[in-house]
Every structure is written in C-alpha cells, then in structure tokens.
Chains A and B, each alone.
Chain A
Amino acid sequence: MPIQNYIWLSIALFCIGVTGVLIRRNAIIVFMCIELMLNAVNLLLVSLSKYHHDASAQIFVFFIMAVAAAEVSVGLAIIVMVYRHTKSVDVNILNRLKN
C-alpha cells in the first residue's frame, strides 16, 4: 500500500482528535481526544519508519507511549481533584477564571 494512505489516515485521526478537543465539554472526553491525537502520530511514525527503513521512529513511539502514560497519571489526578471540589468535569467551569 502506498505511504500516502497511511499519512492521510493518520492526519484524519489527528483531525478527529483536534475537533473533539475543540467541541467537547467533558474533561475526560477532551482528554481521550488528546490521546487520539498522540496515537495518530504514533501510527504515522510507525508507517514512516517502515517507509524509510529506519527503526529510530519506532523507538520514538515507545517514548511517546511512556510520556503519554505519565501525562495520563498527572491529568487524571488533576481531573479528580477538580471533580472533588466542583462535583463536575465540565470544562466550562474554566471560564470562571476570566475576569
């Protein structure tokens, strides 16, 4: 299969993620959409790695996974902290900060 198909698939997945972040109001869903963006990049990197016959991109994918896991642990802790205080995970509460 030509490399273009993989690239377009990854870009499409990435755009779905971006759209989700921009239009959804639930913090957990927004968070899942960010993960979708990262995984779209993982897919792109793996296919490009095959295309270039170079393993370094696959190593990069492992690092992205590890960092994403660290980010998930911090992010979920923050969401839980906000939930305990406000009993809601709606990101619209963020607008309260604006003057």
Chain B
Amino acid sequence: MNALIFTAVFGIFLMISGLFIKNKQPVRILSIAGIIAAFILNIFDLQKFGTSATGLFNGMLSVTPFGLLFIEVVLGCVLVYFLLSGKDLANIGHYTGEYFALIFFILCGITLAATYGNMLMLFLSIEIMSIPQYILAGSDKHNLKSHEASLKYFLMGSFSTGFLLLGIALLYGATGTFDITAMNLAGGSIDTMALAGIILIAFALAFKVSAAPFHFWTPDVYDGAPTAVTSFISTIVKVGGFVAFIRLFHIAFGSPEINPHWELVLAIMTAATLVIGNITAVFQQSVKRMLAYSSISQAGFMLFAVIAMNMLSWQGILLYAAAYSLATIGCFAVLMKMKDYTYDGYNGLAQKQPLLALMNTIFLFSLVGIPATAGFLAKYFVLSAAVEKGGLLWLVILAVCCAAVSAFYYFRLIWAMYFKEGNCEVDEHAITPAFKGVLVLTALLVIVIGVWPDLVLMWIK
C-alpha cells in the first residue's frame, strides 16, 4: 500500500513545506517529484500484489490488480495535470504549498477508493476525496463566484454524505457486517432494509460523480471554482468516484439475485444523465460551462460500466478514466491560456497559435469519440460491455444518439478555432515551449491509447 501511505505523508510534508518555502516554483517541482515517486512506488505494489486479490489490515483494504492499475492511471493523469496546469494552480493565491497538499490528500482518498474492502473505508475514502475539494473550490479568495461554488459544493456534498451513511447503516442492519465481500445479500429473501440501503448508497454515489438527477450542483461549482481546480475536480476526482461506485456495485451487490433490483434505477439514471448533460451543453455560451456539462454527459457513459457486470466493464472504466481525464485536462490547459472563456474568445486561434488549436482539436475528437482516439475505444468498451450483458439495447442506442448530439457542441469549438475570423486574446507569456511539448505528448498519448489500448489493459490480464 505504498501509494496510499506515501500520498498522505507527502501531503502533510507539502503543507509544512509551505511555511518554509516562499517561492511558488520549488513547491511545484517538489509536487511533480512527489507524483513521480508515488507512480514508481505503485509499480512496486503492482509487482507484489499484481496477481490476485489480497486482503490487508484485517480485510479493511482489498488490494486487487485492477485497483492498483487504476491508481497507476490516476497518478499518470495527475502527473500530466501538474505538468500542464501546475503553474495555474500555483498562481491561484499565495498558499501554493496548501493547494498541492490538498491535491495529494485527494489522491490519498482515491487510492483508498480503489482498494477499500469495508464500508468504513468506503465512507472515509469518499470523505477524504470530498473535504479538500470544498477548500480547493473556494481557494480563489477574492472572487465571489469561487466562494459561492465552495459553499454550494460543501452544503450539497455533506448533504449527500448523510444519505451515504444512512444507506450504509441500513445495509448493516440487514446484513450485520460492513465487509463488502461478506455481505452475502444473495442468500434467502432480500428484505426492504437492504434494498433501501442499496438505493440510498446509489443516490449518494451518483451525487459524487454528478449523475442526473443529482447533477444540479455541477455546472455552478465547476464554473465558479478556479479553472485549474475545475480541471482537477472534473476529471481525476470524478473517475475516483467512479472506481468506488463500480467496486461496490460489482463486488457487494453484483450477485445475480440482487442485481435486477438496482439495475433499472441505474439505467434510468444513466439515460437521464446522458440526455440532460448533452442537451444542456448545446445551449452554453461559455466553454468552461460547456466542459462542465460535457463532464456530466461523459459520466453517463461511465455509468454503463457500473451497470454492465462483466470483465469488459472493468477494462472499459480503466480506459475511460485515462481517455476522459487526459482529453479534458488538455482542453482545460488550453482554456486557461485564453483571456475570454466564451466560444467567441476562441475565434481565430488556429492562425495565432496553430499548435494549440490542433492539440485542442485532438482532445475534442477524443471527447466526441472519433475513431483512432482513446475516447472512441473507451466508449466502445463500455457500450459493448452493456451489449454483452443484454437487455440494455435501448440504453445503448440512446447513448449513441447522445454521442452524436455531443459532436455538435465539441465541433462548435473547432469551428470557432479554425473557420471563424477573429482576434482571440491569448496569454502569450504562459505558452512556453515546455508547455507545448507536454501538450503534444498528451495528445500523442490520447492517440496511442486509442490505437493500442493494451498499453493500459495488458497489466490486468
């Protein structure tokens, strides 16, 4: 459990280092070094536990190859995020050490979410992920929108935590255990208490991953939070919520007897998420808000992996986590260089910054799901997982239609960059050769995963 312990300790270390290091640059480099160290330490774990599920700490943690690989993917995406947007994150305010420390605490929560074996650890992982986000959303202390985003996120987030806890308590009442493998819901008749618990937990987790009808906080919070923070919480933390979701529902509630009871609820939730996310994204004028709605609609696709209970869905969620995070982090990295966040602010970017426009186009292609990008394969995996399960064909058809709708608002941005005359204002100083290099590498990674998905998947075979 190297990554779990390391991220927690390194977070505390960064927090204290903020007292002594006054410059922003060393803190940023220290955090990048920390992520690389966590990445390498997790590879050791993969070699050690990479074959079968291992219970640690009396079954509190259940380390599986999938969980470790997921942590690896998340750490890789955070490394890309630090390289692309680390400077913007450091420039939010004066407390650079704290921002990076909070990110490491969130990572600690995500590693816990990928390895928990007990409801207690599920609750702790969700909370460790959430509480630093409330602070980060309000980290821009001079901006009223940031305050409001923070307060709204905090009130709604702790409200949903209440439902998660009630669900866990009811489930405990029905089964007498918190261990997710020992719940044995399949045996005998399934009582109302257990069902109510499952549905409440589903609602709370749907809230955390912003699935409709619990998505209402998402656009406001993502819009109000500083853009560097939005980039993080709409990608890494969201897929972290999904790993908690998929592990709980596949391991604890996955038996054939209990599965039909919650399948329809989640299917309706998925349909609503896809429709609401895509339709409202069409009407947005601000690119930042469009990306917020796009993250809702992408969450709809990731929900397919939770509903379809087979090997393909585990692979699908891994690929989707990588594809969605990389592409969205890339889009946000370009967005942060723009002065004007509306579509019109992108007019004529292709003439001014051809490389940025091209890379942004690749990221948007991946989000739409154009073949030969990672986004296409990720969508293919989650949808074919649902087809393999059977009985969900209507949902798959709806998802394909929604993907077609999503092309409209993604291509509108490409249209603005390439075919509209205009004089977009770009922060020229921030576009360094190093930034461009990392951006190109990220886009290459998106294409490489799209052509050769085994780069991610071969480690869990």
Q: A residues touching B (Cβ–Cβ < 8 Å)?
A: 7, 10, 14, 17-18, 21, 27, 30-31, 34, 37-38, 40-41, 44-45, 48, 51-52, 54, 56-57, 59-60, 63-64, 67, 70-71, 74-75, 77-79, 81-82, 85-86, 91, 93-94, 96-99
Write the chain B residue with the least CB distance to A46: B169
| Nearest Cβ on chain B to A10's Cβ, whole angstroms | 8
Indicate if B11 sits at the interface (CB-CB under 8 A): no
Contact status of A48 and B172, CB under 8 A, knowing A60-B178, A81-B141, A98-B220: yes
| Nearest Cβ on chain A to B101's Cβ, whole angstroms | 14
Bound state CA distance, A62 and B127, in angstroms?
14
Q: How many A-B residue pairs have CB under 8 A?
A: 117
Interfacial residues of chain B within 114-132, with CB under 8 A of chain A in the complex:
119-120, 123-124, 127, 131
Name the A residues within 8 Å of B159 (CB-CB).
Answer: 21, 34, 37
Q: B residues touching A (Cβ–Cβ < 8 Å)?
A: 119-120, 123-124, 127, 131, 134-135, 138, 141, 144-145, 147-152, 154-155, 158-159, 161-162, 165-166, 168-170, 172-173, 176-178, 220, 223-224, 289
| Nearest Cβ on chain A to B282's Cβ, whole angstroms | 14
Q: Is the CB of B150 within 8 A of A94?
A: no
Interface of chain B, main secondary structure = helix
Q: Is the CB of A38 within 8 A of B172?
A: no
Write the chain B residue with the least CB distance to A37: B162
Q: Is the CB of A71 within 8 A of B162?
A: no
Bound state CA distance, A98 and B218, in angstroms?
11
Name the A residues within 8 Å of B177 (CB-CB).
Answer: 54, 56
Write the chain A residue with the least CB distance to B167: A41
Q: Is the CB of B151 within 8 A of A78?
A: yes
> Mind listing 16 A-B residue pairs with CB under 8 Å?
A14-B166, A40-B166, A41-B169, A44-B170, A45-B172, A52-B172, A63-B123, A67-B127, A71-B161, A74-B135, A77-B135, A78-B150, A82-B150, A97-B149, A97-B220, A97-B223
